[in-house]
Amino acid sequence: MLTRLREDIACIRERDPAARSGFEVLTCYPGLHALLLHRWAHRFWGLGWRWLGRFTSHLARFLTGIEIHPGATIGRRVFIDHGMGVVVGETAEIGDDCTIYQGVTLGGTSLAKGAKRHPTLGRGVIVGANSQVLGGFTVGDGARVGSGAVVVKPVPPGATAVGNPARIIVADAEAAREAAAARMGFSAYGVSQGDDPVSQAMKGLIDNAAGHEHQIALLWAAIEKLSARARELPAADCVPQDAHTTESFDAERLNRLVK
């Protein structure tokens, strides 16, 4: 139990730059208190002491503003930051290392008793402030839900979902960038993904390099077509209609990134 508590405190100190000491985390973090009480509530629920489970959960809500149904399954090193207004439904599952901000609902849309009505969060999922994840689907490992999003469909691992209804914004771009970076011999994930302008510039350069690569492939295809037709037709008819490329180098964009 003490190991688990140490682990909880350590994960909060890692993920919250405002946390200054273990003592501060232990005494002033409602997310930690809610999880500690939830462990008791979940135990009571599992033993069939349903009222005691619900009452412990109610007490936790009263003290922390975080409502976790005693039936919900929560992994290790989960961090509920600030926490006020968080609601976690009965059949929700939260994987290890997830981070959940204030106002999040892991809720259901169906009234079917006993069915899986609430979402499952994979490992390392981040759920932004005031977002609503509604339904019995899975949010994949490492996915991120933007603040204020309303998610009603599964989110693939590593993807970012934003808006209402939520749409996936970066999964495809990231996958293409990683593939291009791998071909060039290094990993795009080696650079930080935050607001660091250098990493943003690197992302831009990789995207442009990938664009160039595609452009060259189009040119090769056009040349091959051209030489095939040149063998059959008079010179004037040799240029194929689709020989032009569709992408262009956006120098302005690169300049904006490195400014």
Ligand X SMILES: CC(C)(COP(=O)(O)OP(=O)(O)OC[C@H]1O[C@@H](n2cnc3c(N)ncnc32)[C@H](O)[C@@H]1OP(=O)(O)O)[C@@H](O)C(=O)NCCC(=O)NCCS
Nearer to ligand X, 12 or 41 (CB): 12
Least separation in angstroms between CB 244 and ligand X:
28
Distant-in-sequence, close-in-space partners of 48: CB < 8 Å, separation ≥ 6: none
162 touches ligand X (CB under 6 A):
yes
Q: How far is the CB of 172 from ligand X (least distance, A)?
A: 13
- Stretch near ligand X under the rule CB under 6 A, chosen from 5-13, 159-167, 173-181, 245-253: 159-167
Between CA 247 and CA 208 the distance in angstroms is 10
| Alpha-carbon gap, residue 258 to 191, rounded angstroms | 15
Element housing 55 (H / E):
helix 50-64
- Least distance CB 163 / ligand X (angstroms): 5
CB-nearer residue toward ligand X: 189 or 220: 189
Binding mask 51-70 for ligand X (x = CB under 6 A): --------------------
Distance (Å, rounded) from C-alpha 80 to C-alpha 66? 9
Question: What gap in Å lies between CA 126 and CA 77, rounded to an integer?
Answer: 13
Identify which of residues 52 and 152 has a Cβ nearer to ligand X in the complex.
152
Report the interhelical angle of 30-46 vs 50-64 (nearest 10°).
170
Q: How many Cβ atoms sit within 10 Å of the Cβ of residue 142?
A: 17
Among 46, 163, 165, 197, binds ligand X (CB under 6 A): 163
160 lines the binding site for ligand X (CB under 6 A): yes
| 109-148 residues near ligand X, rule: CB under 6 A | 128-129, 144, 146-148
Assess contact for 160 and 128: CB atoms under 8 A.
no
* Closer of 72 and 162 to ligand X (Cβ): 162
**Judged by CB under 6 A, does residue 221 bind ligand X?**
no
Return d(Cα 140, Cα 159) in angstroms, integer. Answer: 8
**Binding-site ranges for ligand X (CB under 6 A):** 82, 101, 128-129, 144, 146-148, 160, 162-163, 169
